[in-house]
A and B are shown apart, each in its own frame.
Chain A
Amino acid sequence: MDKKYGVYICTGCGIGDSLDIKALCDVADEEGYPVKDHPFLCGKEGLEEIKKDIGEGTNSLVIAACSRRVNFDVFSFEGCIADRVNLREQVVWSHPRSEFPALTEEEKEDEENFDRVQMMAEDYLKMGMIRVEKVSLPEPYKLDNFTRNILVIGGGITGISAAIDAAKAGYEVTIVEKESHIGGYAAKVRKQLPMEDPYEDLIPPVIHAKIDELEKYSNITVKTETVVARIAGEPGDFIVTLKKPGEKIEFDVPYPLPDEMKLDEKGDELDTEKQHELYMQYNEGKLDILQFDPNGEKFGAVILAAGWQPYAPEDGEFAHLGFGEFPDVVTNDQFEEIAAKGKITRPSDGKAVNSVAFIQSPDKGDDDKDFSYAGAVTSLVSLKQAKYVCEDYDDAKAYIFYQHMRTPGLSENFYKSLQQEPGIFLTKGNVVSVSKNGDGLVVEADDTLLGEKIKVKADMVVLATGMVPVTASDPVVNLAYRQGPGFRDIGLFDGYCDSNFICFPYETQRTGIYAAGAVRRSMTMEESVEDAAGAALKAIQCLESVNRGVAVHPRSGDMTFPDFFFQRCTQCKRCTEECPFGALDDDEKGTPKPNPARCRRCGTCMGACPERIIGFADYNIDSIGSMVKAVGVPSEDDYDEPPFRILGLVCENDAYPALDIAGLNKLSYSADVRLIPVRCLGSVNVIWIKDALSQGMDGVFLLGCKHGDDYQCHFVKGSELAEIRVKKIGDALASLALEEERVAQFQVSIDDYDKIPEIINGFVEEVEALGPNPFKGF
């Protein structure tokens, strides 16, 4: 495209009062950019002006006004590249003239004086201009084959609900269920927890009505005794091989070579070809992931509703509770099975049950944790099963010993109602032991609400063991992805599959695959049904984004995708390995094969690539690198005491909004920093940092999301990867005789705007203490 430039400076919102607009216009003029200013650019007149120019051929716009986070719809022009120079939030609002006074006419006489805020505005304008020069208009990635069908894995209450929801919206749905009939656990219970107001009483299972409803939809296909052998391809064009459970076929998914097998005897890594050979041996009888099943079924998106399995205690794991030793000590799952059959009787002798003790926590040592994978559901199930006991026998007693009684939301009503049952007795306490007493049992507990120690007699003891997501032991989805068949284990989710539970529910770390129900966390049936609707909507969102060639989430609607300059690829596989979403599959030589529909456009590959061959149409090594180079770095040649220059690479997901909010709140920070928004800190290529320092900038900081246990990175690992990369360049800096303290990374969340001045000024002070960059002026 032939670019015709236009620079538009808004003087409203205090910009014109603070800055020398004429001088700013001169900056554009000098570069040969036509420039206009307007007191109210987002108003009707201002827009008319821009549109008039567009009508006359202008197609590359630099709009120097407010933040790009506001008026984004106003300043969006079909077929045009536009950059938003943030003069309002990042320049004038955050650098008030009361703190950063403008030069007086007298001061202007002396060339040694400079106006930091004006300098800043001019730098930003230059950065905006170079950016529009360097980027191009994106074109969408269109799949050759596209299918709208949705695959639902799991025919339990979640899968059935999701299928109904998607079918109602008009999509073709296939459910695969490994058992011989659908219904799952929901069909095995005597009664279930309430699903509607007033949330007080148990209700008969709703699954049967759900199944009846399912049968009414002709666009739902149910395949029982079927599992997924592999899912290859990408969203919109998944190629799925189905098989019978236990069957061994060549399209069974291959597993990646374990790390220890990638090394030779000396502990050095084997070359790519050797590794591929070993990988093929390791997966004997299975075809490589890049070989597609010609008979595979096509699906556009997948809903994973594979559910959970009852926790299976290891031998002797709960010996102190008599589990394994006494047949009358059972898990909640076993108790449900007994209750579903009819009147509850003792497994040991089939006699009536007069009292049952429900234990919520194994209480080992000082640990008051509940059983693994337990949660609100196990608390509620204890109440439910206690009620069974009272239902079956008039004078029966049900004791519940808990460390935590979790009845969130309106399930509190259920707790209150069950508490009223005269035969149900609740107490917090550490259960110490379960022992034999005649033909019954005695439960001993410490630190109860009834006093230090108590004992109760019980005919049966029920342990509130947890709901283990099936993904903890089996990938289920069996993805033919180079990173492996399951979801990447980032060590935080205990086998539950999700990417970020709070920010991005349903979205797994694999685009196009949406998790719902107990595979995501332990859930009641009511929650599962609601969750199913969420996942179904996500699957639909995926289909309706992929068909237009745009990103699904979190950069919904982004039309760009990573472009590889393969001639220079060294097959280092770093991009394949570091991609948080497994979007890249390398071949036997290690050359990455992109799957753009799997991609979330974070740019982690771009940040990782040592050859710098990966980029996006509007975001690449050159575009950002040029912005860095556009920053003016005054040296002693210019002023006796030149100002410091510090570069900030700012994550646009949380950190950039936080900066805007700081500006909105008129919180001020150093005027010597220059900020560049990045898609994710994971996309930061260290070359930008090196460039900045070698052109004389005094320091560089990265501002991004929190990482670790409660990470907030929108792309899972971006800020963590950035930190590793930044640490590694410390050595390179040392070889240049530069202090490694000149580069730092800070974590903020979106509501940390009040900490912004402290973070930025703190870093500036630290750099000032180190003194100016010795490369300045070279």
Chain B
Amino acid sequence: MADKYLIEPDVGFIKELQGLGGDTLKKCFQCATCSVACPISPDTRPFPRKEMIAASWGLKDRLVGNGDIWLCHNCGDCTTLCPRGAKPGDVLGAIRSYAVTEYATPKIVGKIVNDPKMLPVLLLIPTMIFIVLGLITGLLNFNPGGEEIVHSNFFSTWLVDLVMVPTAAWAVAVFALGLKRFLDDIHQNALLEGKTDKEKIDAVEFVRALGRVIPTILKHKKFSECGENQARATSHMMVFYSFAGLFIVTNIFFVVLYVFQIHGPYQQINPVKWLANISGIALVIGSALMIKDRLAKTDEVSAYKDWYLLFVVFGVGLSGMLTEMSRLAGAAGLSYTIYFIHLVLVFNLFAFLPFSKLAHLVYRTVAMTYAEYAGRK
């Protein structure tokens, strides 16, 4: 067994973090202002002071499998108050980004997702799948015709689900594989750093802890404790709930379609349509606000991973709404084109979810649940 006290800095890891937006990590001189300033850090073994020294020493083992990096909501209070400009908020963001790539397999996908040069490839993959599969199965009809604009006449719902259901399953599988390791790692790390007194993870207790954490997440309670970036809670909540709404809509649609054999588009007076419209608008506004915030925050680093996700989320919302609007306006060609783009973006969202920044929705939930379970105060 390796000597647990032996420290072996990984210079390569430091350089990678610096590339992921943590270029300031070496500036820390361990005054611990960050840990004091952080409104959501626990009182015992608080972050991010210890994460900062571990980062500047290149201690990958202590960071990637550290649940605390996920407890951070990137409020930015630490970054604002840091006397050395070490930007702990950004450094933790960079570590999370590294951790996402680390837990999501195959790693090559993660590399592609985080590489700006590969963006065309990311967009080309679904495009090719849709066209090839659509042409083989005949489910893609470039000449839908008809009086009414019905998107399924152009891009069959069968084709949508033929692609999207396996994609969703793939995302779940990737997560499942990563999570097993993730949970094990954060538990080991908590034991090593004395952050828990629980020897083993008890499944029942863990699920109960999840039950206690979900209301916190739904209410964005941690977010509202933030000082510096409290405004971010609003846009995040809009995006969060719009995704929830759209998830419900999609499920209803799925059930209605396959069980009751009723096709869309729904009437505007349909309550499901209301939910869909409200969610869609919220998604566009919420993600637009996020983009605006990022552009305004010149003191915080915005890495490619941040922009990619915002681009996809905003794109999904906007293309969705435009598809509907152009349909109502009767612009068939335009509507079908936008719908195709919409599906490409949705594919990006699903397929690369475990590799993108959006993976935080899983890791952060698990880490928060673990913290709750471990009795971290």
Contacts and interface: CB of A to CB of B under 8 A. Distances in A.
A421 B3 CA distance: 27
Interface stretch (B51-59, B141-149, B320-328): B51-59
A397 B9 contact: yes
Interface string B1-36: 001011111010011001000000011011000000
Interface string A432-453: 0000000000001000011101
Nearest to B30: A449
A416 B56 CA distance: 13
A449 B53 contact: yes
A457 B6 CA distance: 8
Contacts, number: 51
Nearest to A424: B26
Interface string A416-431: 1001111101111000
A416 B84 CA distance: 9
Contacts of B56: 419, 425-426
A545 B9 CA distance: 62
B26 A456 contact: no
A454 B57 CA distance: 12
Contact of B5 (A397, A419, A454): A454
Given A425-B57, A427-B53, A449-B53, A395 B11 contact: yes
A455 B6 CA distance: 5
Contacts of A449: 30, 53
Given A425-B9, A455-B6, A420 B26 contact: yes
Contacts of A454: 5-7
B6 A420 contact: no
Contacts of A451: 50, 193
Given A419-B29, A425-B56, A425-B57, A453 B5 contact: yes
A7 B18 CA distance: 81
Given A450-B59, A453-B5, A456-B6, A422 B11 contact: yes
Given A423-B11, A425-B56, A450-B53, A455 B26 contact: no
A456 B6 CA distance: 6
Q: Which of A422, A427, A444 neighbours the largest number of chain B CB atoms within 10 Å of its CB? A: A422
Given A416-B27, A450-B54, A455 B7 contact: yes
A450 B4 CA distance: 12
Contacts of A397: 9, 11
A144 to B, nearest CB: 62
A422 B6 contact: no
Q: Which of A419, A420, A421, A451 neighbours the largest number of chain B CB atoms within 10 Å of its CB? A: A451
A360 to B, nearest CB: 15
Nearest to B54: A450
B305 to A, nearest CB: 22
B3 A422 contact: no
Q: Which of B3, B57, B59 neighbours the largest number of chain A CB atoms within 10 Å of its CB? A: B57
A422 B26 contact: yes
Nearest to B14: A422
B304 to A, nearest CB: 21
Nearest to A394: B11
Contact of B26 (A395, A419, A453, A457): A419
Contact of A419 (B3, B14, B27): B27
B48 to A, nearest CB: 13
Contact of A422 (B15, B30, B53): B15
Nearest to B32: A449
A371 B223 CA distance: 49
Interface string B190-205: 0001000000000000
A264 B150 CA distance: 124
B15 A450 contact: no
Contacts of A453: 5
B53 A457 contact: no
A212 B57 CA distance: 44
Contacts of A455: 3, 5-7
A458 to B, nearest CB: 11
Contacts of A422: 11, 14-15, 18, 26, 58
Contact of B57 (A421, A444, A450, A457): A450
A420 B56 CA distance: 9
A5 B145 CA distance: 128
Contacts of A395: 11
Contacts of B53: 427, 449-450
A91 B58 CA distance: 71
A455 B53 CA distance: 15
A95 to B, nearest CB: 51
Contact of A420 (B5, B27, B57): B27
Contacts of B84: 416
A772 B216 CA distance: 82
A735 B53 CA distance: 71
Contacts of B14: 422
A453 B30 CA distance: 17
B290 to A, nearest CB: 31
Contacts of A420: 26-27
Q: Which of A423, A425, A454 neighbours the largest number of chain B CB atoms within 10 Å of its CB? A: A425
B308 to A, nearest CB: 26
Contacts of B26: 419-422
Contacts of B15: 422
Interface in A90-109: none
Interface string B179-196: 000000000000001000
Contacts of A457: 6, 8
B21 to A, nearest CB: 16
Q: Which of A395, A426, A428 neighbours the largest number of chain B CB atoms within 10 Å of its CB? A: A426
Nearest to B11: A422
Contacts of B58: 422, 425
Interface in B54-77: 54, 56-59
Interface string B233-271: 000000000000000000000000000000000000000
A505 to B, nearest CB: 31
Nearest to A452: B5
Nearest to A418: B26
A595 B53 CA distance: 62
Contacts of A426: 56
Interface in A444-476: 444, 449-451, 453-457
Contacts of B3: 455
A427 B57 CA distance: 9
B289 to A, nearest CB: 35
Contacts of A419: 26-27, 29, 56
A451 B30 CA distance: 13
Nearest to B29: A419
A254 to B, nearest CB: 54
Contacts of B7: 450, 454-456
A186 B193 CA distance: 47
A457 B50 CA distance: 21
Interface in A387-402: 395, 397
A450 B6 CA distance: 11
A420 B84 CA distance: 12
Contacts of A456: 6-8
Interface in A526-578: none
A422 B53 CA distance: 13
A455 B29 CA distance: 21
A184 B18 CA distance: 42
Contacts of B30: 428, 449
A423 B10 CA distance: 9
9 contacts: A419-B27, A421-B26, A422-B15, A425-B58, A426-B56, A427-B57, A449-B30, A450-B53, A455-B7
Shortest beta-carbon contacts, A-B, top 9: A455-B5, A454-B7, A455-B6, A449-B53, A422-B14, A453-B5, A420-B26, A425-B57, A449-B30
Given A449-B53, A450-B54, 15 more contacts: A397-B9, A397-B11, A422-B14, A422-B15, A423-B11, A425-B9, A425-B57, A425-B58, A427-B53, A444-B5, A449-B30, A450-B7, A455-B7, A456-B6, A457-B6
Interface of B: 3, 5-9, 11, 14-15, 18, 26-27, 29-30, 50, 53-54, 56-59, 84, 193
